[in-house]
Amino acid sequence: MRFSLARFRAVLVKEFIQMRRDRITFAMMIGVPIMQLLLFGYAINSDPRHLPTLVEMADDGPASRAILMGMQTSGYFEVEGIVTSAEEGDRALRDGTASFVVVIPPDFERDVVRGHSPQILLAADASDPAAAGGAVAAISGIVTTAISETLSGALTYAASSPPPFSVVVHRQFNPEGQTSTNIVPGLLAIILSMTMVMITAVAIVRETERGTMETLISTPVRPGEVMLGKIFPYVFVGYVQTGVFLAAARILFDVPFLGSPLAFFVGFNLYIIVNLALGFLISTIARSQMQAMQISFFTLLPTILLSGFMFPFAGMPGWAQAIGSAIPATHFLRLVRKVMLKGAEMADIATDLWRIGIIMAVIVLIALRRYRQTLD
């Protein structure tokens, strides 16, 4: 009763036929990644631009106007009007008509020239810190530039010792701060995890639910043959999804691919397999396709939230990082970002690989132990 290649192939062929006949599921396997890619890539931006801004101008000298121009051209601020009092500005912030109110004090330009370091007030609606963050970080640079450009000639001395606007923001690997550059590689981890886990989870429970499991296990088929035969067709699906993803990342989002293709290939294969094994494990627990779907979604949530896809991993508390480390997506996410954005080679991703490997070994062991050859 050893592993039979013939029976494994039989299960494989059967799965492919069933996959081909189930048009909608097949379409979803390709449609979901494209949809996600478009939504996450285009719609989600953690560094929003063109935020509505009001200005209270007590000084309308050239420097003040240069600052406003600078803010406008930075893309972060969309100057929509003038307020004449502090109350008016407060109200606008509170009711959301403005995200920022900029207050330029009286005699601003004169004080700059005299070296009095006047202050510009940027009142920001920071109730969504992520939305305001980028703009706040950009403001000092904008003002500095504006002032140094305005105060030239005899007044250069005043600009060269600029007021306390001296924040330097250096965005490495993503110089333009494009969210999609970061999100799109991470999205591969989420897309693969979502579809691979769900499809396999459902694939086995479906046999139980339709009663075909009884015929299947009344034949001499071995657990390993069923498991591999059911997993392999979806490896193929994972390849198609990855292909679609890479093409879209390149064509639609201009995401670079700087690192070693081999490292990427090894990494995504390992990742596909670990997700399929997880799906298989779920299907040995779930009693119905509905339950399998629910458990899959249950695993999806930490994958999105704790893997570092949505929020920076380093910013999470220790316990959350501990949970995150047990999620395959966490390591694959790092791997993909390293390879695509930082030009990593095999040696650079070794740690991520063996961590995924450990998770996989644990899952496969539990899954094989749980798969029943009886109806007990």
Partner 1 sequence: MSEHAISVRGLTKSFSGRRVVDNLEMVVPKGSIYGFLGPNGSGKTTTIRMMCGLLTPDAGEGDCLGFDILQQSGQIKENIGYMTQKFSLYEDLTIRENLDFVARMYKMTNRKARVDKALEDLGLADRAKQLAGTLSGGWKQRLALAACMIHEPEVLLLDEPTAGVDPKARRDFWDEIRRLAGKGVTVLVSTHYMDEAVQCDYIAYIAYGKKLIDGLAREIPSMVGLSTWLVEGPELGALEAALRKDPGVGQVARFGTVLHVSGIDTAALEKVAERETAKKTHDWTRKEAGLEEAFIYLMAHSQDNFGSGGQA
User: Which parts of this chain interact with partner 1 (CB under 8 A)?
Assistant: 1, 4, 6-7, 9-10, 13-14, 17-18, 21-22, 210-221, 373-376
> At closest approach, how far in Å is the CB of 222 from partner 1?
9
Nearer to partner 1, 60 or 214 (CB): 214
Q: Which amino acid is at 302?
A: P
> At closest approach, how far in Å is the CB of 280 from partner 1?
19
Cα radius of gyration rounded to whole Å, the chain = 28
> At closest approach, how far in Å is the CB of 281 from partner 1?
22
Nearer to partner 1, 301 or 375 (CB): 375
Contact 295, 194 (CB under 8 A): no
Nearer to partner 1, 16 or 313 (CB): 16
Tokens, residue 375: 């109806």
Cα 80 from Cα 59, distance rounded (Å):
18
> At closest approach, how far in Å is the CB of 288 from partner 1?
16
Position of tokens 């007990």?
Answer: 376
Of the candidates 278, 268, 368, 371, the residue with the CA atom closest to the CA atom of residue 327: 278
Nearer to partner 1, 136 or 216 (CB): 216
- What are the two backbone dihedrals, phi and then psi, of residue 313, each rounded to the nearest 5 degrees? -60, -40
Nearer to partner 1, 22 or 60 (CB): 22
> At closest approach, how far in Å is the CB of 93 from partner 1?
59
Nearer to partner 1, 10 or 358 (CB): 10
> At closest approach, how far in Å is the CB of 213 from partner 1?
8
- What are the two backbone dihedrals, phi and then psi, of residue 374, each rounded to the nearest 5 degrees? -125, 175
Q: Which residues contact 232 (CB under 8 A, 6 or more apart)?
A: 12, 15
Of the candidates 76, 174, 71, the residue with the CA atom closest to the CA atom of residue 132: 76
Nearer to partner 1, 117 or 373 (CB): 373
Nearer to partner 1, 2 or 170 (CB): 2
> At closest approach, how far in Å is the CB of 210 from partner 1?
7
> At closest approach, how far in Å is the CB of 9 from partner 1?
7
Nearer to partner 1, 13 or 290 (CB): 13
> At closest approach, how far in Å is the CB of 132 from partner 1?
53
